[in-house]
Structure 1
């Protein structure tokens, strides 16, 4: 008895392709390589789409305006800010007391360490740099919006804020250990 031939070849690459093809018309997305949550091998990567609409740091990274160390330093700052923000809160005497409510959560060691790092960053960046980093990384403002908050609206100021933000992100990368401070690893000037 003759064997029946298959008329269609199966391509496993198309079957396992989980990328979305339907993107909303005004979506701002960028491709990013992430760990495969369904992968069998450790360290296996897949390409995913990341929304950059309300993420200025992600947008700068997607457009190659900042490098990986600056990006990771900015994300570490955002993480520390979120940890520290969740800390102790004042008691609201206007709220009615309800039996069975738990007391305020104590400050954890990770929150305390985050506050210490943020205090160091405040000293390192200065008042202006800290305010700029907070406006962009915490509030999610663009350079135009940062200029409007400071009552300066020109392209020259936008360029200044962009350059200053990159300097602050460089410093954050050094503080968090994602980049060296230019000591031993920095290239030496050419000799004559």
Structure 2
């Protein structure tokens, strides 16, 4: 009969390991550190997996091609765009049914502020920069696809679009307040 070990220490991390062991065949994921929703301490972080397959901004950030300020500036732009757009909406079943055409929902203050910020972004980036940021952050296009839309298909143009996109992300970080011009900005932005 074997001897029972009673001094063994148990680690709670092994007991509550909820990470997925198997990923789908075509998964593109990156590890990110997020706030633990079940933590008692508000500063506790956990590692989570984020899908970056249809997220060009997340892919650039996970591969360390853009910094945190650029990433947050891009996410703020995406948030403003989603808030400002007024597209097809679901039918609200809680509202009273009335025959005839439905009235339009009034523009909320959040939508108005988002549109004002987007107008400022377009003025700061210029027409070409705003179109490039829209293509990447809203439509999710790659630099190769942007080149195809503009009828320029060489690697040199792809490199130009990538460099120009990073400059636009620098400007977005400044506009949304995630970076300061005098502080940690690159020399390319000051030219």
- Of 103-112 and 137-146, the range deviating more from structure 2: 103-112
Post-superposition Cα deviations, 1:27-78, rounded to whole Å, max 9, x if no partner, equal: 1000001111111111211100000000000000000000000000000000
Residues in 2 aligned to 1:41 and 1:164: alpha-carbon distance in whole angstroms:
41
User: Which stretches in structure 1 are left out of the alignment for 5+ residues?
Assistant: 90-96, 188-192
User: Which stretches in structure 2 are left out of the alignment for 5+ residues?
Assistant: 90-96, 187-191
Residues in 1 aligned to 2:33 and 2:120: alpha-carbon distance in whole angstroms:
32
1:140 match: 140
Residues in 2 aligned to 1:79 and 1:165: alpha-carbon distance in whole angstroms:
18
What is the correspondence of 1:22-171 to structure 2 with a 5 Å cutoff? 22-86=22-86, 99=99, 103-171=103-171
Q: Contact 1:88–1:107 (CA<8 Å) still a contact in 2?
A: no
What CA RMSD, in Å, does the superposition of the two structures yield over aligned residues?
Answer: 2.5
Residues in 1 aligned to 2:59 and 2:116: alpha-carbon distance in whole angstroms:
28
Q: Contact 2:144–2:153 (CA<8 Å) still a contact in 1?
A: yes
2:174 match: 174
Q: Contact 1:78–1:138 (CA<8 Å) still a contact in 2?
A: yes
CA drift at 1:150: 0.5
Q: Contact 1:87–1:107 (CA<8 Å) still a contact in 2?
A: no
Residues in 1 aligned to 2:185 and 2:119: alpha-carbon distance in whole angstroms:
28
Q: Contact 1:57–1:71 (CA<8 Å) still a contact in 2?
A: yes
Q: Contact 2:179–2:185 (CA<8 Å) still a contact in 1?
A: no
TM-score by length of 1: 0.84
- Of 166-175 and 40-49, the range deviating more from structure 2: 40-49
Could you say what secondary structure the match of 1:166 adopts? helix
Could you say what secondary structure the match of 1:145 adopts? helix
TM-score by length of 2: 0.84
